[in-house]
Chains A and B, each alone.
Chain A
Protein backbone atom coordinates (compact mmCIF):
# COMPACT_ATOMS: atom_id res chain seq x y z
CA UNK A 1 0.00 0.00 0.00
CA UNK A 2 1.37 3.38 -1.03
CA UNK A 3 -0.67 6.39 0.06
CA UNK A 4 -0.23 10.06 0.89
CA UNK A 5 -0.99 9.60 4.56
CA UNK A 6 0.76 10.12 7.87
CA UNK A 7 -1.02 7.54 9.96
CA UNK A 8 -3.73 5.12 8.75
CA UNK A 9 -5.74 5.84 11.91
CA UNK A 10 -5.78 9.58 11.20
CA UNK A 11 -6.69 9.71 7.52
CA UNK A 12 -10.24 10.95 8.13
CA UNK A 13 -9.29 13.43 10.86
CA UNK A 14 -6.47 14.99 8.89
CA UNK A 15 -8.46 15.08 5.68
CA UNK A 16 -11.38 16.86 7.35
CA UNK A 17 -8.99 19.28 9.05
CA UNK A 18 -7.47 20.11 5.68
CA UNK A 19 -10.90 20.51 4.10
CA UNK A 20 -11.86 22.94 6.87
CA UNK A 21 -8.68 24.94 6.39
CA UNK A 22 -9.14 25.11 2.62
CA UNK A 23 -12.80 26.10 2.67
CA UNK A 24 -13.24 28.20 5.78
CA UNK A 25 -15.28 30.68 3.71
CA UNK A 26 -17.90 27.98 3.07
CA UNK A 27 -17.92 25.74 6.12
CA UNK A 28 -17.10 25.45 9.78
CA UNK A 29 -16.10 22.18 11.36
CA UNK A 30 -17.36 21.04 14.72
CA UNK A 31 -14.70 18.82 16.24
CA UNK A 32 -16.58 17.44 19.23
CA UNK A 33 -18.41 15.11 18.75
CA UNK A 34 -16.05 14.08 16.00
CA UNK A 35 -16.48 15.93 12.78
CA UNK A 36 -19.54 17.66 11.65
CA UNK A 37 -18.98 19.89 8.61
CA UNK A 38 -21.52 22.71 8.74
CA UNK A 39 -22.34 25.46 6.29
CA UNK A 40 -20.61 28.62 7.54
CA UNK A 41 -23.85 30.61 7.85
CA UNK A 42 -26.00 27.83 9.36
CA UNK A 43 -28.65 27.83 10.61
CA UNK A 44 -30.09 29.88 7.76
CA UNK A 45 -33.19 31.67 9.04
CA UNK A 46 -36.44 30.13 7.84
CA UNK A 47 -34.72 27.50 5.72
CA UNK A 48 -35.12 23.73 5.95
CA UNK A 49 -31.78 22.21 6.96
CA UNK A 50 -30.29 19.41 4.86
CA UNK A 51 -28.01 16.87 6.51
CA UNK A 52 -26.27 13.99 4.82
CA UNK A 53 -23.37 11.80 5.75
CA UNK A 54 -21.87 8.38 5.59
CA UNK A 55 -18.57 6.64 5.63
CA UNK A 56 -15.56 8.64 4.50
CA UNK A 57 -13.68 7.71 1.35
CA UNK A 58 -16.30 9.05 -1.10
CA UNK A 59 -14.97 12.61 -1.27
CA UNK A 60 -16.04 15.13 -2.35
CA UNK A 61 -19.35 13.53 -1.21
CA UNK A 62 -20.66 14.76 1.27
CA UNK A 63 -18.60 17.59 2.79
CA UNK A 64 -17.72 18.93 -0.65
CA UNK A 65 -21.42 19.62 -1.19
CA UNK A 66 -21.96 21.74 1.92
CA UNK A 67 -22.81 25.33 1.08
CA UNK A 68 -25.34 27.61 -0.57
CA UNK A 69 -27.93 25.68 -2.55
CA UNK A 70 -27.00 22.21 -1.40
CA UNK A 71 -26.27 20.66 2.04
CA UNK A 72 -26.28 22.49 5.36
CA UNK A 73 -24.17 19.84 7.06
CA UNK A 74 -22.23 16.69 6.29
CA UNK A 75 -21.32 14.00 8.80
CA UNK A 76 -18.22 12.05 7.80
CA UNK A 77 -17.88 8.66 9.46
CA UNK A 78 -14.76 6.55 9.68
CA UNK A 79 -13.45 5.21 6.38
CA UNK A 80 -16.34 3.39 4.63
CA UNK A 81 -18.17 3.26 7.97
CA UNK A 82 -21.39 5.07 8.78
CA UNK A 83 -21.08 7.84 11.35
CA UNK A 84 -22.59 7.14 14.77
CA UNK A 85 -25.82 8.84 15.90
CA UNK A 86 -24.12 11.50 18.09
CA UNK A 87 -22.53 13.58 15.32
CA UNK A 88 -25.63 13.16 13.13
CA UNK A 89 -27.70 14.57 16.00
CA UNK A 90 -25.21 17.40 16.48
CA UNK A 91 -25.37 18.29 12.77
CA UNK A 92 -29.15 18.22 12.92
CA UNK A 93 -29.16 20.64 15.84
CA UNK A 94 -26.62 22.96 14.21
CA UNK A 95 -28.65 23.42 11.03
CA UNK A 96 -32.16 23.51 12.49
CA UNK A 97 -33.59 27.00 12.02
CA UNK A 98 -37.06 25.96 13.14
CA UNK A 99 -38.20 24.89 9.67
CA UNK A 100 -37.21 21.28 10.19
CA UNK A 101 -34.36 19.12 8.95
CA UNK A 102 -34.14 16.61 6.12
CA UNK A 103 -31.78 13.65 6.43
CA UNK A 104 -30.56 12.34 3.08
CA UNK A 105 -29.36 8.77 3.65
CA UNK A 106 -27.73 6.36 1.26
CA UNK A 107 -29.34 2.93 1.49
CA UNK A 108 -26.65 1.01 3.31
CA UNK A 109 -27.61 -0.90 6.43
CA UNK A 110 -25.23 0.99 8.72
CA UNK A 111 -26.19 4.44 7.43
CA UNK A 112 -29.89 3.69 7.73
CA UNK A 113 -29.62 2.33 11.29
CA UNK A 114 -27.46 5.20 12.57
CA UNK A 115 -29.52 7.95 10.90
CA UNK A 116 -32.75 6.33 12.20
CA UNK A 117 -31.37 6.43 15.72
CA UNK A 118 -30.23 10.06 15.32
CA UNK A 119 -33.63 11.08 13.92
CA UNK A 120 -35.32 9.53 16.96
CA UNK A 121 -33.01 11.48 19.27
CA UNK A 122 -33.64 14.73 17.34
CA UNK A 123 -37.41 14.23 17.51
CA UNK A 124 -37.04 13.72 21.25
CA UNK A 125 -35.38 17.14 21.38
CA UNK A 126 -38.25 18.71 19.49
CA UNK A 127 -36.64 18.98 16.06
CA UNK A 128 -38.83 17.97 13.16
CA UNK A 129 -36.88 15.51 11.00
CA UNK A 130 -37.80 13.73 7.82
CA UNK A 131 -35.59 11.16 6.12
CA UNK A 132 -35.16 10.26 2.49
CA UNK A 133 -33.38 7.03 1.62
CA UNK A 134 -31.50 7.12 -1.69
CA UNK A 135 -31.36 3.81 -3.57
CA UNK A 136 -30.44 4.49 -7.18
CA UNK A 137 -28.15 1.53 -7.91
CA UNK A 138 -29.74 -0.76 -10.50
CA UNK A 139 -26.98 -3.37 -10.07
CA UNK A 140 -28.69 -4.70 -6.97
CA UNK A 141 -31.89 -6.64 -7.18
CA UNK A 142 -34.47 -4.82 -5.13
CA UNK A 143 -36.29 -7.60 -3.36
CA UNK A 144 -37.13 -9.00 0.01
CA UNK A 145 -33.97 -11.03 -0.30
CA UNK A 146 -31.45 -8.20 -0.29
CA UNK A 147 -30.88 -5.11 1.82
CA UNK A 148 -32.38 -3.26 -1.16
CA UNK A 149 -30.67 -1.12 -3.74
CA UNK A 150 -27.68 0.92 -2.66
CA UNK A 151 -27.43 4.67 -2.69
CA UNK A 152 -24.61 5.67 -5.04
CA UNK A 153 -23.82 8.63 -7.33
CA UNK A 154 -27.48 9.63 -7.69
CA UNK A 155 -27.18 10.83 -4.09
CA UNK A 156 -25.43 14.02 -5.21
CA UNK A 157 -28.33 14.87 -7.53
CA UNK A 158 -30.82 14.33 -4.69
CA UNK A 159 -28.67 16.65 -2.57
CA UNK A 160 -28.41 19.25 -5.35
CA UNK A 161 -32.10 19.44 -6.21
CA UNK A 162 -33.43 19.15 -2.67
CA UNK A 163 -30.84 21.74 -1.64
CA UNK A 164 -32.10 24.14 -4.29
CA UNK A 165 -35.68 23.60 -3.15
CA UNK A 166 -34.70 24.35 0.46
CA UNK A 167 -32.75 27.42 -0.64
CA UNK A 168 -35.80 28.88 -2.43
CA UNK A 169 -37.79 28.50 0.78
CA UNK A 170 -39.81 25.32 0.28
CA UNK A 171 -41.33 23.66 3.35
CA UNK A 172 -39.88 20.49 4.88
CA UNK A 173 -42.72 18.43 3.39
CA UNK A 174 -42.08 19.87 -0.06
CA UNK A 175 -38.27 19.50 0.11
CA UNK A 176 -38.69 15.89 1.22
CA UNK A 177 -41.17 15.29 -1.61
CA UNK A 178 -38.72 16.69 -4.16
CA UNK A 179 -35.92 14.55 -2.76
CA UNK A 180 -38.14 11.46 -3.05
CA UNK A 181 -39.17 12.41 -6.58
CA UNK A 182 -35.53 12.78 -7.62
CA UNK A 183 -34.70 9.44 -6.03
CA UNK A 184 -37.58 7.77 -7.86
CA UNK A 185 -36.35 9.12 -11.22
CA UNK A 186 -32.59 8.61 -10.88
CA UNK A 187 -30.76 5.40 -11.75
CA UNK A 188 -27.06 4.51 -11.60
CA UNK A 189 -24.66 1.67 -12.23
CA UNK A 190 -20.89 1.42 -11.96
CA UNK A 191 -17.90 -0.74 -12.74
CA UNK A 192 -14.35 -1.08 -11.45
CA UNK A 193 -11.12 -1.80 -13.31
CA UNK A 194 -9.13 -1.99 -10.08
CA UNK A 195 -10.14 -2.13 -6.41
CA UNK A 196 -9.30 0.38 -3.68
CA UNK A 197 -7.38 -0.07 -0.45
CA UNK A 198 -8.81 1.11 2.86
CA UNK A 199 -5.82 2.63 4.72
CA UNK A 200 -6.28 0.77 8.01
CA UNK A 201 -6.94 -2.53 6.21
CA UNK A 202 -3.80 -2.15 4.14
CA UNK A 203 -4.94 -4.59 1.46
CA UNK A 204 -7.17 -4.15 -1.60
CA UNK A 205 -10.87 -4.56 -0.85
CA UNK A 206 -11.13 -7.28 -3.47
CA UNK A 207 -8.91 -9.04 -5.98
CA UNK A 208 -9.26 -8.26 -9.66
CA UNK A 209 -7.09 -9.76 -12.38
CA UNK A 210 -5.16 -7.58 -14.82
CA UNK A 211 -7.70 -8.27 -17.57
CA UNK A 212 -10.85 -8.34 -15.43
CA UNK A 213 -13.65 -5.85 -14.79
CA UNK A 214 -16.08 -5.89 -11.86
CA UNK A 215 -19.55 -4.88 -13.01
CA UNK A 216 -22.15 -3.44 -10.64
CA UNK A 217 -19.89 -2.22 -7.86
CA UNK A 218 -21.06 -0.18 -4.91
CA UNK A 219 -19.10 2.73 -3.49
CA UNK A 220 -17.54 1.03 -0.47
CA UNK A 221 -15.02 -1.10 -2.26
CA UNK A 222 -17.44 -4.00 -2.16
CA UNK A 223 -17.46 -6.31 -5.15
CA UNK A 224 -20.24 -6.12 -7.70
CA UNK A 225 -22.59 -8.59 -9.25
CA UNK A 226 -20.41 -10.05 -11.97
CA UNK A 227 -16.82 -10.26 -13.11
CA UNK A 228 -16.04 -10.21 -16.80
CA UNK A 229 -13.06 -9.94 -19.11
CA UNK A 230 -11.95 -6.43 -20.05
CA UNK A 231 -13.66 -5.04 -23.15
CA UNK A 232 -13.45 -1.78 -25.14
CA UNK A 233 -14.94 1.23 -23.33
CA UNK A 234 -17.98 1.51 -25.59
CA UNK A 235 -19.02 -2.07 -24.85
CA UNK A 236 -18.56 -1.55 -21.10
CA UNK A 237 -20.63 1.65 -21.25
CA UNK A 238 -23.40 -0.30 -22.94
CA UNK A 239 -23.30 -2.84 -20.10
CA UNK A 240 -23.95 -0.02 -17.63
CA UNK A 241 -26.38 2.21 -19.50
CA UNK A 242 -28.69 -0.46 -20.89
CA UNK A 243 -29.80 -1.80 -17.49
CA UNK A 244 -30.25 1.83 -16.38
CA UNK A 245 -32.42 2.72 -19.37
CA UNK A 246 -34.53 -0.40 -19.00
CA UNK A 247 -35.02 -0.02 -15.28
CA UNK A 248 -36.98 3.24 -14.99
CA UNK A 249 -37.57 2.89 -17.98
CA UNK A 250 -36.27 5.96 -19.80
CA UNK A 251 -38.23 6.53 -23.02
CA UNK A 252 -38.00 8.50 -26.25
CA UNK A 253 -38.32 12.28 -25.70
CA UNK A 254 -37.56 12.02 -21.99
CA UNK A 255 -35.26 14.80 -20.83
CA UNK A 256 -32.33 13.66 -18.71
CA UNK A 257 -29.33 14.82 -16.72
CA UNK A 258 -26.37 12.54 -17.47
CA UNK A 259 -23.72 12.22 -14.78
CA UNK A 260 -20.54 10.33 -15.63
CA UNK A 261 -18.81 9.86 -12.30
CA UNK A 262 -15.23 8.76 -11.70
CA UNK A 263 -14.62 6.39 -8.79
CA UNK A 264 -11.45 8.20 -7.67
CA UNK A 265 -8.68 6.74 -9.80
CA UNK A 266 -9.97 7.33 -13.32
CA UNK A 267 -8.57 10.08 -15.55
CA UNK A 268 -10.95 12.73 -16.87
CA UNK A 269 -9.98 11.75 -20.41
CA UNK A 270 -11.47 8.28 -19.84
CA UNK A 271 -14.59 9.74 -18.24
CA UNK A 272 -15.13 11.70 -21.43
CA UNK A 273 -14.67 8.56 -23.53
CA UNK A 274 -17.43 7.03 -21.41
CA UNK A 275 -19.55 10.17 -21.73
CA UNK A 276 -19.15 10.12 -25.51
CA UNK A 277 -20.64 6.65 -25.83
CA UNK A 278 -23.36 7.29 -23.21
CA UNK A 279 -24.50 10.42 -25.07
CA UNK A 280 -24.46 8.45 -28.33
CA UNK A 281 -26.73 5.78 -26.84
CA UNK A 282 -29.15 8.45 -25.58
CA UNK A 283 -29.24 10.05 -29.04
CA UNK A 284 -29.92 6.67 -30.66
CA UNK A 285 -32.91 6.25 -28.37
CA UNK A 286 -34.24 9.77 -28.92
CA UNK A 287 -33.65 10.74 -25.31
CA UNK A 288 -32.97 14.44 -24.82
CA UNK A 289 -29.67 15.14 -23.03
CA UNK A 290 -30.74 18.23 -21.08
CA UNK A 291 -27.69 18.66 -18.84
CA UNK A 292 -24.29 16.97 -18.46
CA UNK A 293 -21.96 16.55 -15.54
CA UNK A 294 -18.58 14.81 -15.75
CA UNK A 295 -16.17 14.42 -12.86
CA UNK A 296 -15.23 12.41 -9.78
CA UNK A 297 -17.92 13.33 -7.26
CA UNK A 298 -18.94 10.12 -5.50
CA UNK A 299 -15.78 8.11 -5.20
CA UNK A 300 -14.43 4.98 -3.60
CA UNK A 301 -10.96 6.13 -2.52
CA UNK A 302 -8.54 5.46 -5.42
CA UNK A 303 -10.74 2.88 -7.11
CA UNK A 304 -10.29 2.84 -10.87
CA UNK A 305 -13.74 2.82 -12.38
CA UNK A 306 -16.77 4.78 -13.40
CA UNK A 307 -20.48 5.03 -12.77
CA UNK A 308 -23.20 6.32 -15.02
CA UNK A 309 -26.24 8.10 -13.61
CA UNK A 310 -29.37 9.24 -15.44
CA UNK A 311 -31.99 11.51 -13.89
CA UNK A 312 -35.27 12.12 -15.67
CA UNK A 313 -36.27 15.77 -15.30
CA UNK A 314 -39.22 18.04 -15.95
CA UNK A 315 -39.17 21.87 -16.00
CA UNK A 316 -39.22 22.17 -12.22
CA UNK A 317 -36.46 19.64 -11.60
CA UNK A 318 -34.36 21.24 -14.34
CA UNK A 319 -34.81 24.65 -12.70
CA UNK A 320 -33.67 23.15 -9.41
CA UNK A 321 -30.67 21.59 -11.13
CA UNK A 322 -29.78 24.95 -12.71
CA UNK A 323 -30.29 26.94 -9.50
CA UNK A 324 -27.16 28.59 -8.06
CA UNK A 325 -24.90 26.42 -5.96
CA UNK A 326 -21.72 27.34 -4.15
CA UNK A 327 -19.91 24.47 -2.47
CA UNK A 328 -16.31 23.24 -2.48
CA UNK A 329 -16.98 20.64 -5.17
CA UNK A 330 -19.89 22.06 -7.15
CA UNK A 331 -20.33 25.68 -8.06
CA UNK A 332 -22.33 27.48 -10.69
CA UNK A 333 -24.61 30.50 -11.09
CA UNK A 334 -23.17 32.24 -8.10
Chain B
Protein backbone atom coordinates (compact mmCIF):
# COMPACT_ATOMS: atom_id res chain seq x y z
CA UNK B 1 0.00 0.00 0.00
CA UNK B 2 1.36 3.40 -0.88
CA UNK B 3 -0.95 5.64 1.15
CA UNK B 4 -4.06 5.48 3.30
CA UNK B 5 -7.17 6.65 1.49
CA UNK B 6 -10.72 7.36 2.62
CA UNK B 7 -11.83 3.77 1.99
CA UNK B 8 -9.03 2.53 4.27
CA UNK B 9 -10.02 5.09 6.90
CA UNK B 10 -13.59 3.85 6.76
CA UNK B 11 -12.49 0.21 7.11
CA UNK B 12 -10.38 1.22 10.10
CA UNK B 13 -13.30 2.95 11.82
CA UNK B 14 -15.60 -0.03 11.14
CA UNK B 15 -12.98 -2.36 12.59
CA UNK B 16 -12.67 -0.15 15.70
CA UNK B 17 -16.43 -0.35 16.21
CA UNK B 18 -16.34 -4.15 15.91
CA UNK B 19 -13.36 -4.50 18.25
CA UNK B 20 -14.87 -2.22 20.89
CA UNK B 21 -18.16 -4.10 20.73
CA UNK B 22 -16.17 -7.28 21.41
CA UNK B 23 -13.99 -5.86 24.16
CA UNK B 24 -16.31 -3.36 25.85
CA UNK B 25 -16.70 -5.47 28.99
CA UNK B 26 -12.93 -5.64 29.34
CA UNK B 27 -12.60 -1.83 29.03
CA UNK B 28 -15.45 -1.33 31.48
CA UNK B 29 -13.83 -3.71 33.95
CA UNK B 30 -10.58 -1.67 33.82
CA UNK B 31 -12.65 1.48 34.42
CA UNK B 32 -14.57 -0.09 37.28
CA UNK B 33 -11.29 -0.74 39.09
CA UNK B 34 -10.15 2.89 39.13
CA UNK B 35 -12.95 4.96 37.59
CA UNK B 36 -16.69 4.74 37.28
CA UNK B 37 -17.09 1.63 35.14
CA UNK B 38 -18.53 2.94 31.92
CA UNK B 39 -15.64 3.39 29.46
CA UNK B 40 -16.43 0.39 27.26
CA UNK B 41 -20.16 1.11 27.18
CA UNK B 42 -19.63 4.77 26.32
CA UNK B 43 -17.18 4.10 23.49
CA UNK B 44 -19.41 1.33 22.16
CA UNK B 45 -22.39 3.69 22.09
CA UNK B 46 -20.28 6.28 20.24
CA UNK B 47 -18.77 3.98 17.62
CA UNK B 48 -22.09 2.23 16.97
CA UNK B 49 -23.52 5.70 16.27
CA UNK B 50 -20.59 6.35 13.92
CA UNK B 51 -21.38 3.11 12.03
CA UNK B 52 -24.91 4.37 11.48
CA UNK B 53 -23.62 7.57 9.92
CA UNK B 54 -20.85 6.23 7.66
CA UNK B 55 -23.32 5.50 4.87
CA UNK B 56 -24.16 9.19 4.75
CA UNK B 57 -20.66 9.97 3.46
CA UNK B 58 -19.80 10.63 -0.19
CA UNK B 59 -18.92 7.64 -2.34
CA UNK B 60 -15.21 8.42 -2.13
CA UNK B 61 -14.66 10.40 1.04
CA UNK B 62 -11.24 11.74 1.97
CA UNK B 63 -9.59 10.43 5.14
CA UNK B 64 -10.27 13.86 6.64
CA UNK B 65 -14.01 13.64 5.92
CA UNK B 66 -14.27 10.25 7.62
CA UNK B 67 -12.27 11.46 10.64
CA UNK B 68 -14.45 14.56 10.96
CA UNK B 69 -17.63 12.50 10.94
CA UNK B 70 -16.16 10.33 13.70
CA UNK B 71 -15.23 13.43 15.70
CA UNK B 72 -18.64 15.13 15.62
CA UNK B 73 -20.45 11.86 16.31
CA UNK B 74 -18.27 10.96 19.29
CA UNK B 75 -18.63 14.46 20.76
CA UNK B 76 -22.41 14.22 20.56
CA UNK B 77 -22.88 10.62 21.69
CA UNK B 78 -20.16 9.45 24.09
CA UNK B 79 -20.33 11.88 27.01
CA UNK B 80 -18.09 11.50 30.03
CA UNK B 81 -14.47 12.56 29.62
CA UNK B 82 -13.82 10.15 26.75
CA UNK B 83 -16.33 11.92 24.46
CA UNK B 84 -14.67 15.33 24.40
CA UNK B 85 -11.17 13.80 24.47
CA UNK B 86 -11.56 11.33 21.59
CA UNK B 87 -13.84 13.80 19.81
CA UNK B 88 -11.12 16.44 19.96
CA UNK B 89 -8.48 13.91 18.88
CA UNK B 90 -10.42 12.93 15.76
CA UNK B 91 -11.34 16.56 15.03
CA UNK B 92 -7.70 17.70 15.16
CA UNK B 93 -6.71 14.63 13.11
CA UNK B 94 -9.34 15.56 10.51
CA UNK B 95 -8.04 19.11 10.35
CA UNK B 96 -4.47 17.86 9.92
CA UNK B 97 -5.59 15.51 7.15
CA UNK B 98 -7.35 18.37 5.40
CA UNK B 99 -8.64 17.44 1.96
CA UNK B 100 -5.73 15.19 1.02
CA UNK B 101 -7.04 12.14 -0.86
CA UNK B 102 -4.37 9.90 0.70
CA UNK B 103 -2.07 9.99 3.68
CA UNK B 104 1.53 8.97 3.18
CA UNK B 105 3.83 8.25 6.11
CA UNK B 106 4.55 11.92 6.69
CA UNK B 107 0.86 12.81 6.53
CA UNK B 108 -0.01 9.96 8.89
CA UNK B 109 2.52 11.16 11.46
CA UNK B 110 1.05 14.68 11.17
CA UNK B 111 -2.44 13.30 11.77
CA UNK B 112 -1.37 11.24 14.81
CA UNK B 113 0.55 14.19 16.20
CA UNK B 114 -2.47 16.46 15.84
CA UNK B 115 -4.67 13.90 17.62
CA UNK B 116 -2.26 13.68 20.54
CA UNK B 117 -1.91 17.45 20.75
CA UNK B 118 -5.69 17.84 20.78
CA UNK B 119 -6.03 15.42 23.70
CA UNK B 120 -3.27 17.14 25.64
CA UNK B 121 -4.84 20.57 25.04
CA UNK B 122 -8.33 19.45 26.11
CA UNK B 123 -7.46 17.23 29.05
CA UNK B 124 -4.30 19.07 30.18
CA UNK B 125 -2.69 15.78 31.18
CA UNK B 126 1.04 15.29 31.14
CA UNK B 127 3.07 12.13 30.56
CA UNK B 128 2.84 9.66 33.46
CA UNK B 129 -0.44 11.14 34.75
CA UNK B 130 -1.94 7.68 34.01
CA UNK B 131 -4.18 8.77 31.15
CA UNK B 132 -4.59 8.08 27.44
CA UNK B 133 -1.72 10.51 26.86
CA UNK B 134 0.59 7.74 28.09
CA UNK B 135 -0.41 5.67 25.06
CA UNK B 136 -0.67 8.53 22.54
CA UNK B 137 2.71 10.05 23.47
CA UNK B 138 4.88 6.99 22.83
CA UNK B 139 2.76 6.11 19.78
CA UNK B 140 3.43 9.46 18.13
CA UNK B 141 7.14 9.33 18.95
CA UNK B 142 7.49 5.81 17.55
CA UNK B 143 5.48 6.75 14.48
CA UNK B 144 7.77 9.69 13.79
CA UNK B 145 10.83 7.45 13.91
CA UNK B 146 9.40 4.62 11.81
CA UNK B 147 10.45 5.80 8.37
CA UNK B 148 8.44 6.42 5.23
CA UNK B 149 6.37 3.27 4.94
CA UNK B 150 2.80 3.74 6.25
CA UNK B 151 2.51 0.13 7.40
CA UNK B 152 5.69 0.50 9.43
CA UNK B 153 4.38 3.75 10.92
CA UNK B 154 1.08 2.11 11.90
CA UNK B 155 2.83 -0.91 13.39
CA UNK B 156 5.25 1.27 15.36
CA UNK B 157 2.41 3.39 16.73
CA UNK B 158 0.34 0.35 17.70
CA UNK B 159 3.20 -1.39 19.49
CA UNK B 160 4.27 1.74 21.36
CA UNK B 161 0.69 2.49 22.42
CA UNK B 162 0.28 -1.05 23.76
CA UNK B 163 3.51 -0.74 25.74
CA UNK B 164 2.45 2.70 26.94
CA UNK B 165 -0.87 1.33 28.18
CA UNK B 166 0.86 -1.46 30.10
CA UNK B 167 3.29 1.09 31.53
CA UNK B 168 0.39 2.96 33.19
CA UNK B 169 -0.12 0.05 35.59
CA UNK B 170 2.45 1.06 38.27
CA UNK B 171 1.49 4.75 38.10
CA UNK B 172 -0.48 6.93 40.53
CA UNK B 173 -3.10 8.87 38.55
CA UNK B 174 -2.93 12.67 38.47
CA UNK B 175 -5.93 13.34 36.24
CA UNK B 176 -9.46 12.00 35.91
CA UNK B 177 -11.40 9.99 38.43
CA UNK B 178 -8.56 7.59 39.18
CA UNK B 179 -6.68 10.53 40.72
CA UNK B 180 -9.09 10.39 43.67
CA UNK B 181 -7.68 6.99 44.61
CA UNK B 182 -4.11 8.04 45.24
CA UNK B 183 -1.87 5.01 45.63
CA UNK B 184 -4.80 2.65 45.33
CA UNK B 185 -4.69 3.20 41.57
CA UNK B 186 -1.31 1.47 41.43
CA UNK B 187 -1.46 -1.91 39.72
CA UNK B 188 -4.38 -1.03 37.44
CA UNK B 189 -4.10 -0.21 33.76
CA UNK B 190 -5.64 3.06 32.62
CA UNK B 191 -8.76 2.32 30.54
CA UNK B 192 -8.24 5.34 28.25
CA UNK B 193 -4.68 4.26 27.47
CA UNK B 194 -5.97 0.75 26.77
CA UNK B 195 -8.70 1.98 24.39
CA UNK B 196 -6.08 4.11 22.62
CA UNK B 197 -3.90 1.02 22.21
CA UNK B 198 -6.95 -0.82 20.84
CA UNK B 199 -7.69 1.89 18.28
CA UNK B 200 -4.09 2.02 17.05
CA UNK B 201 -3.70 -1.79 17.01
CA UNK B 202 -6.79 -2.04 14.84
CA UNK B 203 -5.27 0.57 12.52
CA UNK B 204 -2.13 -1.52 12.10
CA UNK B 205 -4.23 -4.60 11.38
CA UNK B 206 -6.54 -2.90 8.87
CA UNK B 207 -5.60 -3.72 5.27
Contacts and interface: CB of A to CB of B under 8 A. Distances in A.
A117 B180 contact: no
A72 B172 CA distance: 39
B40 to A, nearest CB: 9
A270 interface: no
B84 interface: yes
Nearest to B78: A84
Interface in A15-69: 33, 55
Given A78-B79, A205-B36, A117 B177 contact: no
A222 B36 contact: yes
Given A86-B76, A113-B81, A78 B32 contact: no
A109 B175 contact: yes
A200 B79 CA distance: 16
A220 B177 contact: yes
Contacts of B180: 139-140, 146-147, 150, 218, 222, 224-225
B78 A113 contact: no
A109 B181 CA distance: 15
B38 A198 contact: yes
Interface residues of B, number: 32
Contacts of B79: 55, 77-78, 81-84, 110, 114
B80 interface: yes
Interface in B156-201: 172, 174-177, 179-182, 184
Interface residues of A, number: 40
Interface string A83-123: 11110000000000000000000001110011011000000
B81 A109 contact: yes
A203 interface: yes
Contact of B32 (A83, A146, A205): A205
A81 B38 contact: yes
A145 interface: yes
8 contacts: A81-B42, A113-B83, A113-B85, A139-B180, A198-B38, A205-B32, A205-B37, A218-B177
Given A117-B84, A146-B179, 8 more contacts: A84-B76, A84-B83, A109-B123, A114-B83, A146-B174, A147-B180, A223-B184, A225-B182
Interface of A: 33, 55, 77-86, 108-110, 113-114, 116-117, 139-141, 144-147, 150, 198, 200-201, 203, 205-206, 218, 220-225
